[in-house]
Amino acid sequence: MNDRAPAPGGLALIEALVNTLDIGSGADSLDTPESRERFTLTAQDVPGARVLREALREACLAHAGHGTSTALDALLAEAPLRVTVSPSGEAALRPSGPPTLLARVAEAVATAAADGTWLRLKACAAEDCRWAYYDRSPAARGRWCSMAVCGARTKMRTYRRRRTASP
What is the residue type of 136? Answer: R
pLDDT for residue 34: 97
Q: Would 123 be classed as within a structural domain?
A: yes
Q: Would 95 be classed as within a structural domain?
A: yes
pLDDT for residue 154: 61
Q: Would 87 be classed as within a structural domain?
A: yes
Long-range residue pairs from 49-58, CB within 8 A, at least 24 positions apart, any chain:
49/17, 49/101, 50/21, 51/75, 52/17, 52/101, 52/102, 52/105, 53/17, 53/18, 53/20, 53/21, 56/14, 56/17, 56/18, 56/105, 56/132, 57/18, 57/123, 57/130, 57/132
Taking the C-alpha atoms of residue 16 and residue 133, their distance in angstroms, rounded to an integer, is: 9
Q: Which domain holds residue 139?
A: 11-165
Q: How far is CA 149 from CA 16, 100, 159, in A?
A: 19, 35, 15
What is the residue type of 157? Answer: R
DSSP 53-106: HHHHHHHHHHHTTSS---HHHHHHTT--EEEEE-TTS-EEEEESSS--HHHHHH
Q: What CATH number did the domain enclosing 120 receive?
A: 1.10.3300
Q: Would 104 be classed as within a structural domain?
A: yes
Q: Would 4 be classed as within a structural domain?
A: no
Q: Would 5 be classed as within a structural domain?
A: no
Q: Would 33 be classed as within a structural domain?
A: yes
Taking the C-alpha atoms of residue 102 and residue 60, their distance in angstroms, rounded to an integer, is: 17
How many residues belong to the chain?
A: 167
Q: Would 2 be classed as within a structural domain?
A: no
pLDDT tens for residues 35-75?
A: 999 999 999 999 999 999 999 999 999 999 988 888 999 99
Give the total number of structural domains in the chain.
1
pTM: 0.86
pLDDT for residue 143: 72
pLDDT tens for residues 123-164?
A: 998 888 999 999 998 888 887 675 556 756 666 666 666 777
